[in-house]
Amino acid sequence: MSSNNNSATVNVDELLEALKAKWPSTIVARSEFGHFSGGLISPKTCANADALGTGPAGRITASGKVAYPLESALEFLRGRLKPSTKDTAPAQEAAAKERARRKEAAHV
């Protein structure tokens, strides 16, 4: 039986506030953007967006490295987050049942 609640949605504002509270600095180095975003946005994506003029606002550089103010990095991330409309629970449940069936058949 699945404990998935299909009506539950991710509150992006709460997610970003939690991220902000845990991030240890007032800036986000471009090289750390992957870590900052939980692996969702790569540093290369930021570099490409910067080249197009659509990257996080307020870019700063030091010793050849690029960083962004925390608030700008959060807004950049906010602009790319989209709630998933796909419910994977039924597929995961079916796969688990199939694995159990195969395991049982192997022991017979």
Note the Cα 61 to chain centre separation in Å: 25
Token representation of residue 49: 């967006």
Q: Bigger pLDDT: 76 or 85? A: 76
Computed over every residue of the chain, the mean pLDDT equals: 87
Lowest mean pLDDT, pick from 27-31, 39-43, 66-70, 84-88: 84-88
- Enumerate domains of the chain plus CATH numbers: 12-83 (1.10.1660)
Q: Bigger pLDDT: 107 or 104? A: 104
55, 68, 74, 82: which is closest to 28 by C-alpha?
68
Question: What is the rounded distance in angstroms from the CA atom of residue 68 to the CA atom of residue 61?
Answer: 9
Statement: residue 87 has pLDDT above 60: yes
- Helices 70-78 and 12-22, axial angle in degrees (round to 10): 150
